[in-house]
Amino acid sequence: MDTRERPLSPHLQVYKPQLTSTLSIMHRMTGVALAVGTLLLVWWLVAASLGGEAFTTIQTIIGSWFGRLLLFGWSFALFYHLCNGIRHLFWDMGKGLDLPSAYRSGWIVIVAAIVLTVSSWVCGYHSMGAL
Amino acid sequence: MSLRTDLGKVRGLGSAKEGVAHWWAQRLTAIALVPLMLWLVINIAHLAGADVKAVQAWIANPVTSVLLILMIIAVFHHMQLGLQVVIEDYVHTEWLKVASIIVVKFAAIALAAISLFAILKIAFAG
Protein backbone atom coordinates (compact mmCIF):
# COMPACT_ATOMS: atom_id res chain seq x y z
CA MET A 1 0.00 0.00 0.00
CA ASP A 2 1.31 3.43 -0.93
CA THR A 3 1.55 5.44 2.25
CA ARG A 4 3.19 8.58 0.83
CA GLU A 5 0.10 10.47 -0.23
CA ARG A 6 -1.92 9.88 2.90
CA PRO A 7 -3.24 13.01 4.60
CA LEU A 8 -1.34 13.77 7.77
CA SER A 9 -2.67 15.41 10.88
CA PRO A 10 -1.05 18.84 11.35
CA HIS A 11 2.04 18.98 13.52
CA LEU A 12 1.83 20.54 16.96
CA GLN A 13 3.86 23.53 15.77
CA VAL A 14 0.96 24.97 13.75
CA TYR A 15 -1.14 25.46 16.86
CA LYS A 16 -0.94 28.59 18.94
CA PRO A 17 0.43 27.63 22.39
CA GLN A 18 -2.38 27.46 24.90
CA LEU A 19 -2.34 27.27 28.68
CA THR A 20 -3.69 23.73 28.64
CA SER A 21 -1.16 22.37 26.13
CA THR A 22 1.74 24.26 27.74
CA LEU A 23 0.92 22.89 31.20
CA SER A 24 0.53 19.41 29.72
CA ILE A 25 4.03 19.30 28.21
CA MET A 26 5.41 20.98 31.35
CA HIS A 27 4.07 18.07 33.41
CA ARG A 28 6.12 15.68 31.32
CA MET A 29 9.24 17.88 31.28
CA THR A 30 9.17 18.42 35.05
CA GLY A 31 8.70 14.66 35.48
CA VAL A 32 11.84 13.95 33.46
CA ALA A 33 13.72 16.70 35.33
CA LEU A 34 12.67 15.19 38.64
CA ALA A 35 13.92 11.78 37.49
CA VAL A 36 17.35 13.39 37.00
CA GLY A 37 16.92 15.11 40.37
CA THR A 38 16.58 11.75 42.15
CA LEU A 39 20.33 11.33 41.52
CA LEU A 40 20.95 14.24 43.89
CA LEU A 41 18.63 12.71 46.49
CA VAL A 42 20.46 9.37 46.30
CA TRP A 43 23.84 11.10 46.45
CA TRP A 44 22.70 13.10 49.50
CA LEU A 45 21.51 9.95 51.33
CA VAL A 46 24.73 8.07 50.53
CA ALA A 47 26.85 11.06 51.59
CA ALA A 48 24.90 11.27 54.86
CA SER A 49 25.55 7.57 55.49
CA LEU A 50 29.29 8.00 54.81
CA GLY A 51 29.60 11.25 56.77
CA GLY A 52 32.83 13.23 56.93
CA GLU A 53 34.27 14.47 53.68
CA ALA A 54 31.55 12.96 51.47
CA PHE A 55 28.90 15.01 53.21
CA THR A 56 31.01 18.18 53.24
CA THR A 57 31.47 17.83 49.47
CA ILE A 58 27.77 17.60 48.64
CA GLN A 59 26.95 20.37 51.10
CA THR A 60 29.49 22.64 49.40
CA ILE A 61 28.11 21.79 45.95
CA ILE A 62 24.45 22.32 46.92
CA GLY A 63 25.42 25.47 48.84
CA SER A 64 27.12 27.07 45.82
CA TRP A 65 25.10 29.49 43.68
CA PHE A 66 24.82 26.91 40.91
CA GLY A 67 23.75 24.21 43.36
CA ARG A 68 21.09 26.49 44.79
CA LEU A 69 19.89 27.39 41.30
CA LEU A 70 19.56 23.67 40.44
CA LEU A 71 17.80 22.96 43.71
CA PHE A 72 15.46 25.91 43.16
CA GLY A 73 14.60 24.57 39.70
CA TRP A 74 14.03 21.09 41.07
CA SER A 75 11.88 22.37 43.94
CA PHE A 76 9.66 24.25 41.46
CA ALA A 77 9.54 21.16 39.20
CA LEU A 78 8.50 19.06 42.20
CA PHE A 79 5.72 21.40 43.32
CA TYR A 80 4.48 21.92 39.77
CA HIS A 81 4.43 18.17 39.06
CA LEU A 82 2.75 17.53 42.43
CA CYS A 83 0.02 20.18 41.96
CA ASN A 84 -0.62 19.31 38.33
CA GLY A 85 -0.59 15.62 39.31
CA ILE A 86 -3.47 16.32 41.71
CA ARG A 87 -5.21 18.08 38.80
CA HIS A 88 -4.74 14.88 36.78
CA LEU A 89 -6.18 12.77 39.60
CA PHE A 90 -9.34 14.91 39.57
CA TRP A 91 -9.57 14.45 35.80
CA ASP A 92 -9.20 10.69 36.35
CA MET A 93 -12.30 10.91 38.53
CA GLY A 94 -14.08 12.67 35.67
CA LYS A 95 -14.13 16.02 37.45
CA GLY A 96 -13.16 19.39 35.96
CA LEU A 97 -12.84 18.23 32.36
CA ASP A 98 -14.81 21.09 30.79
CA LEU A 99 -12.82 23.95 29.27
CA PRO A 100 -13.49 26.71 31.87
CA SER A 101 -12.61 24.29 34.72
CA ALA A 102 -9.45 23.11 32.96
CA TYR A 103 -8.28 26.73 32.60
CA ARG A 104 -9.22 27.61 36.17
CA SER A 105 -7.41 24.57 37.63
CA GLY A 106 -4.44 25.34 35.37
CA TRP A 107 -4.03 28.81 36.86
CA ILE A 108 -4.52 27.42 40.37
CA VAL A 109 -1.69 24.94 39.72
CA ILE A 110 0.66 27.70 38.55
CA VAL A 111 -0.07 29.94 41.54
CA ALA A 112 0.09 27.03 44.03
CA ALA A 113 3.42 25.80 42.63
CA ILE A 114 4.97 29.27 42.88
CA VAL A 115 3.62 29.87 46.41
CA LEU A 116 4.84 26.44 47.64
CA THR A 117 8.27 26.91 46.04
CA VAL A 118 8.79 30.36 47.53
CA SER A 119 7.46 29.26 50.94
CA SER A 120 9.81 26.30 51.14
CA TRP A 121 12.80 28.51 50.28
CA VAL A 122 11.74 31.11 52.84
CA CYS A 123 11.46 28.24 55.34
CA GLY A 124 14.89 26.93 54.31
CA TYR A 125 16.64 30.30 54.64
CA HIS A 126 14.82 30.88 57.93
CA SER A 127 16.21 27.64 59.41
CA MET A 128 19.69 28.65 58.23
CA GLY A 129 19.23 31.87 60.21
CA ALA A 130 19.58 33.97 57.07
CA LEU A 131 16.17 35.61 57.52
CA MET B 1 -5.91 -25.31 36.13
CA SER B 2 -8.00 -22.25 35.62
CA LEU B 3 -11.72 -22.57 35.09
CA ARG B 4 -11.83 -19.22 33.32
CA THR B 5 -12.55 -19.18 29.60
CA ASP B 6 -10.15 -17.55 27.16
CA LEU B 7 -12.64 -14.76 26.56
CA GLY B 8 -12.98 -14.20 30.29
CA LYS B 9 -9.20 -13.89 30.70
CA VAL B 10 -8.66 -11.42 27.88
CA ARG B 11 -11.75 -9.29 28.43
CA GLY B 12 -10.78 -5.81 29.61
CA LEU B 13 -7.04 -6.27 29.12
CA GLY B 14 -6.89 -4.08 26.01
CA SER B 15 -4.35 -4.04 23.17
CA ALA B 16 -1.32 -3.85 25.47
CA LYS B 17 -2.50 -7.06 27.22
CA GLU B 18 -1.83 -5.62 30.64
CA GLY B 19 -5.18 -4.06 31.43
CA VAL B 20 -4.90 -0.96 33.58
CA ALA B 21 -2.07 -2.25 35.81
CA HIS B 22 0.47 0.35 34.64
CA TRP B 23 -2.03 3.20 34.78
CA TRP B 24 -3.31 2.14 38.21
CA ALA B 25 0.19 1.75 39.70
CA GLN B 26 1.10 5.24 38.49
CA ARG B 27 -1.99 6.69 40.21
CA LEU B 28 -1.44 4.76 43.45
CA THR B 29 2.19 5.90 43.71
CA ALA B 30 1.10 9.46 42.84
CA ILE B 31 -1.43 9.49 45.69
CA ALA B 32 1.19 8.12 48.09
CA LEU B 33 3.76 10.68 46.97
CA VAL B 34 1.59 13.76 47.64
CA PRO B 35 1.92 13.59 51.47
CA LEU B 36 5.38 11.93 51.35
CA MET B 37 6.96 14.65 49.20
CA LEU B 38 5.35 17.49 51.17
CA TRP B 39 6.71 15.88 54.34
CA LEU B 40 10.17 15.51 52.77
CA VAL B 41 10.38 19.10 51.53
CA ILE B 42 9.27 20.53 54.90
CA ASN B 43 11.90 18.46 56.70
CA ILE B 44 14.69 19.22 54.22
CA ALA B 45 13.89 22.94 54.48
CA HIS B 46 14.25 22.61 58.26
CA LEU B 47 17.58 20.81 57.77
CA ALA B 48 19.01 23.56 55.54
CA GLY B 49 22.55 24.29 56.69
CA ALA B 50 22.49 21.47 59.26
CA ASP B 51 25.68 19.49 59.88
CA VAL B 52 26.04 15.77 59.16
CA LYS B 53 25.29 14.78 62.77
CA ALA B 54 21.90 16.53 62.66
CA VAL B 55 21.06 15.00 59.27
CA GLN B 56 22.04 11.50 60.48
CA ALA B 57 20.02 11.94 63.68
CA TRP B 58 16.99 12.93 61.60
CA ILE B 59 17.32 9.92 59.26
CA ALA B 60 17.95 7.52 62.18
CA ASN B 61 14.67 8.51 63.83
CA PRO B 62 12.39 5.45 63.30
CA VAL B 63 9.48 7.50 61.92
CA THR B 64 11.81 9.25 59.48
CA SER B 65 13.48 5.98 58.40
CA VAL B 66 10.15 4.29 57.62
CA LEU B 67 8.74 7.33 55.81
CA LEU B 68 11.97 7.71 53.80
CA ILE B 69 11.84 4.01 52.83
CA LEU B 70 8.20 4.38 51.69
CA MET B 71 9.08 7.57 49.83
CA ILE B 72 12.03 5.95 48.02
CA ILE B 73 9.94 2.94 46.91
CA ALA B 74 7.09 5.16 45.69
CA VAL B 75 9.43 7.66 43.97
CA PHE B 76 11.38 5.09 41.98
CA HIS B 77 8.32 3.03 41.09
CA HIS B 78 6.51 6.19 39.91
CA MET B 79 9.64 7.39 38.08
CA GLN B 80 10.18 4.25 36.03
CA LEU B 81 6.48 4.04 35.12
CA GLY B 82 6.54 7.66 33.91
CA LEU B 83 9.84 7.40 32.02
CA GLN B 84 8.60 4.21 30.33
CA VAL B 85 5.64 6.13 28.85
CA VAL B 86 7.91 8.98 27.71
CA ILE B 87 10.27 6.49 26.01
CA GLU B 88 7.36 4.63 24.38
CA ASP B 89 6.05 7.94 23.01
CA TYR B 90 9.28 9.31 21.54
CA VAL B 91 11.61 6.39 20.75
CA HIS B 92 10.37 4.62 17.64
CA THR B 93 13.33 2.33 16.91
CA GLU B 94 12.20 -0.92 18.49
CA TRP B 95 15.55 -2.18 19.87
CA LEU B 96 16.45 1.27 21.22
CA LYS B 97 13.04 1.63 22.83
CA VAL B 98 13.27 -1.74 24.58
CA ALA B 99 16.91 -1.12 25.58
CA SER B 100 16.05 2.32 27.03
CA ILE B 101 13.17 0.90 29.05
CA ILE B 102 15.41 -1.87 30.42
CA VAL B 103 18.10 0.67 31.39
CA VAL B 104 15.49 2.88 33.12
CA LYS B 105 13.96 -0.05 35.04
CA PHE B 106 17.35 -1.42 36.14
CA ALA B 107 18.58 2.06 37.12
CA ALA B 108 15.41 2.72 39.13
CA ILE B 109 15.83 -0.52 41.08
CA ALA B 110 19.57 0.08 41.61
CA LEU B 111 19.06 3.67 42.82
CA ALA B 112 16.27 2.55 45.14
CA ALA B 113 18.48 -0.23 46.57
CA ILE B 114 21.37 2.19 47.14
CA SER B 115 19.05 4.69 48.87
CA LEU B 116 17.42 2.05 51.07
CA PHE B 117 20.84 0.69 52.07
CA ALA B 118 22.03 4.19 52.99
CA ILE B 119 18.90 4.83 55.10
CA LEU B 120 19.15 1.47 56.89
CA LYS B 121 22.89 1.90 57.48
CA ILE B 122 22.28 5.25 59.20
CA ALA B 123 19.33 3.81 61.14
CA PHE B 124 21.10 0.68 62.40
CA ALA B 125 24.84 1.36 62.23
CA GLY B 126 24.83 5.12 62.83
Chain A nearest-CA distance from B55, in A, is: 7
Average pLDDT for A3-24: 82
Taking only the tens place, the pLDDT of each residue in B32-47 is: 999 999 999 999 999 9
Query: Contact A85/B34, CB-based, under 8 Å?
Result: yes
Closest-CA residue of A relative to B120 is A49
Query: Contact B55/A85, CB-based, under 8 Å?
Result: no
Q: What are the domain boundaries of chain A?
A: 19-127
ipTM metric? 0.89
H helix count then E strand count, chain A: 4, 0
Please count the residue pairs, one from chain A and one from chain B, whose beta carbons lie less than 8 angstroms apart: 84
Confidence check: pLDDT of B52 > 80: yes
Angle between helix B62-90 and B94-125 (nearest 10)? 170
Per CATH, which fold does B24-125 belong to? 3 helical TM bundles of succinate and fumarate reductases (1.20.1300)
CB B68 within 8 A of CB B59: yes
Query: Contact B86/A28, CB-based, under 8 Å?
Result: yes
Query: Contact A38/B76, CB-based, under 8 Å?
Result: yes
CB B75 within 8 A of CB B119: no
Confidence check: pLDDT of A7 > 90: no
The mean predicted confidence, pLDDT, of chain B is 93
Closest partner residue to B48 (CB to CB) among A46, A88, A127 is: A127
Touching check for A117 and chain B: CB below 8 Å? Answer: no
**Looking at residue A108, what is its pLDDT?**
98
Sign of CA dihedral A10, A13, A18, A23: positive
Touching check for A89 and chain B: CB below 8 Å? Answer: yes
**Coil, strand, or helix at residue A16?**
coil
**Looking at residue A14, what is its pLDDT?**
80
Average pLDDT for B97-113: 98
Touching check for A92 and chain B: CB below 8 Å? Answer: yes
Touching check for A52 and chain B: CB below 8 Å? Answer: yes
Cα separations (Å) of B15 from A76, B12, B19, B20, B99?
A: 36, 9, 8, 11, 22
Closest-CA residue of B relative to A127 is B46
Q: What are the domain boundaries of chain B?
A: 24-125
Per CATH, which fold does A19-127 belong to? 3 helical TM bundles of succinate and fumarate reductases (1.20.1300)
